Amino acid sequence: MEASPAPERHYRYFDLLMAAFICILLCSNFIGAAKQTVVTLPVLGTLTVGAGVLFFPLSYFFGDILTEVYGYARDRRVVWAGFVALGFASLMAWVIVSLPPAPNAFMAQFQGQLEGVFGNAWRIAAGSMLAYWCGSFANSYVLARMKLKTRGRWLWLRAIASTAVGEGLDSLFFYGIAFYGIWDTHDLIQVAVLEYGLKVLWEILATPLTYALVNFLKRAEQEDFYDAHTRFNPFSLQS
């Protein structure tokens, strides 16, 4: 007679982290993704960047924490949940923009504004979804593998290295798909390269916070997962 499988552990903070991750993912992709802004940096001067760079790195920050504490398989579920949420939000944006506006002066003006913000939603959505999928899984995979290789040491190195790989793929796919042919090519390359550097810098500066949250969660959840026997197939939802 086969033994019944052990019940899956319940974690106090996992659902909250997943909700925060998905909220940041949706907001950063739909509120600030299409806007170019300028920042003034020492030595580099005034540069053009996408406004989403202020908040999007938080998704990789949470991805690192989820993988470090709960493991690749549980982070994989979060990535897929975010993917589905992003897909639904993109579909909703397309439907809302496509619906005929009411025949009044306010809606005649508002429809144009709505199309200006969300009219490119299909390209932003395609770029976001592919970039997010590739970047998030690459980030989680690299961190989980490095944790095994380093025997759990040097979290700062694992977090920065995994983010560098994930954000590199993310920037490549997102800007290439979402804005090629819309933005000037020079601006596109400048924004993509600059944002990649800023995202990695964001991860470096956030290292003390990463340590604080990881240590808190490991104590609170009594968990420090090592993916020694994990199947790293991104299409599987099994551990």
Is residue 168 predicted with pLDDT exceeding 80?
Answer: yes
Residue 215 placed within a domain: yes
Is residue 156 predicted with pLDDT exceeding 80?
Answer: yes
CA proximity to 143, closest of 239, 51, 62, 33: 62
Report which of residues 220 and 7 the model is more confident about: 220
DSSP 103-118: SSHHHHHHHHHHHHHH
Is residue 115 predicted with pLDDT exceeding 60?
Answer: yes
- Which whole number is the average pLDDT over 169-185? 84
Structure confidence by residue, pLDDT tens digits, 68-87: 999 999 999 999 999 999 88
CA proximity to 57, closest of 225, 209, 234: 209
Structure tokens at 169: 């793929």
Is residue 180 predicted with pLDDT exceeding 50?
Answer: yes
pLDDT band at 123 (very low <50, low <70, confident <90, very high): confident
Q: Which domain holds residue 76?
A: 14-221
Range with lowest mean pLDDT among 46-50, 80-84, 219-223: 46-50
Helix (H, G, I), strand (E, B) or coil at 74: helix
Structure confidence by residue, pLDDT tens digits, 189-204: 877 888 898 889 989 9
Residue 237 placed within a domain: no
Residue 6 placed within a domain: no
**66 and 218 Cβ atoms separated by less than 8 Å:** no
Structure confidence by residue, pLDDT tens digits, 23-38: 988 888 777 666 777 7
> In the structure, how many helices (H) and strands (E) does the chain have?
8, 2
The predicted pLDDT at position 32 comes to: 65
The count of domains in the chain is: 1
CA distances from 233 to 36, 54, 76, 137 (A): 36, 31, 9, 10
The predicted pLDDT at position 56 comes to: 82
Residue 234 placed within a domain: no
Calculate what percentage of the chain has a pLDDT beyond 70: 93
> Mean pLDDT score of the chain, rounded to an integer?
86
Q: Who's near 132: CB < 8 A, 6+ residues apart?
A: 25, 29, 59, 79, 82, 83, 86, 170, 174
C-alpha–C-alpha distance, residues 85 and 73, integer Å = 19
Residue 93 placed within a domain: yes
How crowded is residue 151: how many other Cβ atoms within 10 Å of its Cβ? Answer: 8
Report which of residues 122 and 158 the model is more confident about: 158
Is residue 161 predicted with pLDDT exceeding 80?
Answer: yes
The predicted pLDDT at position 6 comes to: 45
Residue 43 placed within a domain: yes
Find the distance separating the first CA and the last CA of the chain, reported in whole Å: 23
Structure tokens at 112: 């144009």
Is residue 89 predicted with pLDDT exceeding 50?
Answer: yes
Report which of residues 146 and 102 the model is more confident about: 146
Tell me 227's DSSP state: -
Residue 157 placed within a domain: yes
Helix (H, G, I), strand (E, B) or coil at 157: helix
Residue 87 placed within a domain: yes
- Which whole number is the average pLDDT over 194-215? 92
Report which of residues 65 and 177 the model is more confident about: 65
The predicted pLDDT at position 2 comes to: 42
The predicted pLDDT at position 203 comes to: 92
What angle (nearest 5°) sits at the alpha carbon of residue 47, between those of residues 46 and 51? 120
